Chain A
Amino acid sequence: MRFIAYLFLGMGIFFATFGNIGILRFPDVYTRLQASSKCGITSVVSIFIGLMILEGLSFITVRILIITIFFLITSPVSFHAIGRSAYEEGILPWRKKKTEGKQ
């Protein structure tokens, strides 16, 4: 049981690391948004699941479950608001550079 919890914690650290590297490396707002939202939500939820397994059935587990449900509802909404704000401001999506011509 403890080994499964450590597996979930390691998976959360893995996804958090690659989400941050994606934010640093990707070229555009929209691609950074994709890397950040997927890896961020996956890492947070898997670390919470690992903590719930580690703690067992107690009073802390219910509160962690409430925080997880709140996070699953609100985090896509805020990322969508950021993407919509970028689209309305007129930022064009990134395209791969051609061999000649502009951009």
Chain B
Amino acid sequence: MGVNILTIVILLLLINSLVSVYRVIIGPTHQDRLIGLNLILSQVTVIMVVAAVNFHRTIYLDVALVYAILSYISIIAITKYFKRRRLRK
């Protein structure tokens, strides 16, 4: 019973992430794309944690923690890159 509901949660989160992929593709500015990307990254982290509880694999939790750290560092690095590129002009 619990397995089915967690699988439905994973499917609904995947369908929700596809809506943000559309914003990443058509976004007018760079910051719109970054907002959509940040939401997708957080939802992928949630999907990993739900899969760890669903399949009883504790290794997915470590993967989710490392993924959260890498997404945070990448968002900070991309915003710093845009700032530096603007100063160079």
Contact = CB atoms under 8 A, between A and B. Distances in A.
Interface-centre pick from B5, B39, B83 (highest chain A CB count, 10 A): B39
Interface residues of A, number: 46
7 contacts: A9-B9, A20-B19, A29-B32, A33-B31, A67-B64, A88-B83, A91-B29
Contact of B35 (A51, A67, A82): A82
Contacts of B9: 9, 12-13, 47
A57 to B, nearest CB: 14
Nearest to B9: A9
A51 B65 CA distance: 16
Given A32-B32, A64-B61, A78-B76, 5 more contacts: A16-B13, A23-B23, A60-B58, A77-B72, A85-B31
Interface string A5-29: 0100100110011011101100001
Nearest to A84: B79
Interface string B25-45: 000010110111011001101
A71 B68 contact: yes
Contacts of B31: 29, 33, 82-83, 85-86, 89, 91
Contacts of B39: 19-20, 23, 36, 40
Interface residues of B, number: 42
A24 B22 contact: yes
A86 B53 CA distance: 38
Given A60-B53, A74-B68, A85 B23 contact: no
Contacts of A79: 35, 38
A81 B79 contact: yes
B68 A36 contact: no
